[in-house]
A and B are shown apart, each in its own frame.
Chain A
Amino acid sequence: MSSDWTDPSNGNTTPCEAVPDVEGASPAVECCIDNLDSESRRAIEASDKSVDVRYCLQRCGRCYTEPFFVVDGEAITGADHSTLLETLESGVTHDA
């Protein structure tokens, strides 16, 4: 599923305090909308993994070339997004 955006209660707080990490120790997974086709989008929506769908991750060359997620700031790639979701499931998130 795609994760919702959460805003802080007080705009004057520092960012690290501003958005509680409600998902605990789960990795931050981000993907770019232009890297998804309709099938991969459905796979993400159906998954129990929290994936932030962004409209640009400023990694346009990789985005053009291959399926990828950014997990805790690092890119992982795979044959398709279902494979990437399985990679998240296995807990192996480094780029092979």
Chain B
Amino acid sequence: MRDLNVLFISIDSLRRDMLGAYESPFDWVTEMGVETPNLDQFAEKAITFDNHYAGSLPCMPARREWDTGIQEFLWRGWGPIEAYDTTLAEKARNAGVLTKLLTDHFHLFQHGSSGYYEDYHGFEFVRGHEDDLWKTQPYEADEGLLQQVGYDFGGEQAETTAEVTDAAANPNHVLDPYDLEHYRPRWKYVRNVAEFDDEDETDFFAAKVFSRAADWLRTTSGWDQWLLRIDEFDVHEPFHCPEPYASMYTDEDPRDPELPVWPYYGRTDRGQAALTDRELSFIRSQFAGKVTMVDTWLGRVFDALDEQDLWDETAVVITSDHGFLLGEHGWIGKMSPDFDLVAKTPLFVWHPDAPESGTAVDALTSAVDLHATVLDLLGAESDAKTHSESLLPIIQGETTEHRDWALYGWWHSDINVTDGTHTYMAPIQEDVPLYNYSTMQMSAQSPFTPTSGYEGAESGAFLPYTDVPVWRQQYPSASLVRQPRLYDTDADPSQSDNIVTESPSVKRKMEELLQDALETMEAPEEVFEQYGIDQ
């Protein structure tokens, strides 16, 4: 096949079961009827991958997989591109491809997560999403939105609007009590969007990012070949929608201060993430509104491809990093056991010469495979050792098989393996030492760049995919599931029936699959012990 331009789009937190191309096992999703006409139309002509799984979770680990082809969660957590990594952009540049990044994803630029944008020929960053450190001038606080993003003015903490806004205005706010409480304080978002008009969707992030992408496609010519990477942070929380999307799936007043748009992660029945039925219904409606908003503005990119007659020379890859639980399994968020609602992600690939366009393929594929796939589509060579297996043979119709297993999970927690028909959750054993391997002194959570050393840190060439020495530092681990869990995802796509006790032979098969996967990956010795797998 000929070399193509590549438009590689990720849409953060996009639940595949809300898209017309995929089915949902959850009644409330089907009944809500989330509108995604542009993605649905795209899926009709693209290849829809029906068995695609995330790998390293959550956001930034997923991006390192796409960018470097390294499935990092067996070795380290949330962090930077490593000194020994060679990124997708660098490999494309080395092949003579013009590279461009468009994003509103603050974490690419955040303290402790360097290396994700520097290799592109050019990048544009739409400012203000989530807790982007952007606006600094004094402003008039929107007390209602402050409450919707999580400030508890009437609760036991007795925060007041004045205290929160004083914190926002305080140049020394790093040490004020509200930053101590929230660290990445949510008032930053409220300040960032203070001048947004709820009735004007062009103020909002997906509109800005996809509009710029459409403009870039219309105005950029003269290059033989390009890679345009769009990293869209929506649907990610806060689920703060403009109209008409805010009212599209609810009869509530979307600006009722009692209705949250930024839930904590956790169990919905108790604790800090607890939600009433009304609150949860509203959050679902705003999430769905954001899905439709993203689809609407993605349509502008498709329009530009139409107008510029680019479809015949461009491959288009659309995916997401993970999903988001909205009350299913008693949880909200992504920091949960890794059910398919979080880990089974959408993937569509348009290739102008693909013989199977317009069809769905059932082959088991993994997020890390997109690294080699994009390089193959560009015709770029890579001699770096990675975990990525190109999907081009599937796209070309040469095969219908791809992987025997896919691994996914969070570093320092439980691991999951699937063969495409069953998913197996293996709990991490917290009494087995856990290590982080990195050239950086890093923490999986905040602060991302700790200023004191860790006891017993060692250095050495510990990694199977590079000879560069790294630090090995011990960290605590935490299991969520505690006991193994097994689901037949063909028969039980909602994963409501744990069959681990009644299906010992399937459990054994999945344990053998996990063993095979860890051995193939050359996982660290302690990882086998952590998950109770023989080496």
Residues on A facing B (Cβ under 8 Å):
4-12, 14-16, 18-19, 21, 28, 30, 32-34, 36, 38, 41, 52-65, 70, 72-75, 94-95
Return 26 A-B CB contacts under 8 Å, by A number.
A7-B337, A12-B496, A14-B280, A14-B327, A15-B275, A15-B277, A15-B330, A15-B331, A15-B332, A16-B277, A18-B269, A18-B329, A18-B330, A28-B270, A28-B272, A33-B445, A33-B477, A52-B271, A54-B266, A59-B182, A60-B447, A61-B180, A61-B446, A62-B181, A65-B180, A74-B156
B residues near A41, Cβ cutoff 8 Å: 476
Bound CA–CA A86/B27 (angstroms): 45
With A54-B266, A61-B179, A61-B182 already in contact, the answer to whether A11 and B271 are too (CB < 8 A) is: no
With A11-B26, A15-B275, A59-B183 already in contact, the answer to whether A21 and B476 are too (CB < 8 A) is: no
Chain A CB within 8 A of B443 CB: yes
Residues on B facing A (Cβ under 8 Å):
25-28, 155-157, 179-184, 264-272, 274-277, 280, 327-332, 335, 337, 410, 412-413, 443-447, 476-478, 480-483, 494-496, 498
B268 and A15 contact, CB distance less than 8 A = yes
- Residue among B182, B267, B337, B495 facing the most chain A CB atoms (10 A cut-off): B267
- Selected from A4, A6, A55, A70, the residue in CB contact (under 8 A) with B445 is A55
A residues near B481, Cβ cutoff 8 Å: 5
B271 and A63 contact, CB distance less than 8 A = no
A34 and B182 contact, CB distance less than 8 A = no
B155 and A75 contact, CB distance less than 8 A = no
With A19-B267, A19-B330, A59-B183 already in contact, the answer to whether A70 and B272 are too (CB < 8 A) is: yes
Bound CA–CA A5/B339 (angstroms): 13
A residues near B483, Cβ cutoff 8 Å: 4
Q: Is the interface of B mostly helix, strand, loop or mixed?
A: loop
With A55-B444, A63-B183 already in contact, the answer to whether A16 and B269 are too (CB < 8 A) is: yes
B265 and A74 contact, CB distance less than 8 A = no
B residues near A16, Cβ cutoff 8 Å: 268-269, 276-277
Min CB gap B295→A, angstroms: 25
A4 and B482 contact, CB distance less than 8 A = yes
B residues near A61, Cβ cutoff 8 Å: 179-183, 446
Q: Looking across the interface, which residue of chain A has its beta carbon closest to that of B180?
A: A61
- Residue among A15, A60, A74, A95 facing the most chain B CB atoms (10 A cut-off): A15
A64 and B447 contact, CB distance less than 8 A = yes
- In the complex, besides A63-B446, A73-B274, 7 extra interface pairs with C-beta distance below 8 angstroms are A18-B268, A30-B272, A57-B264, A58-B184, A60-B447, A64-B446, A73-B272
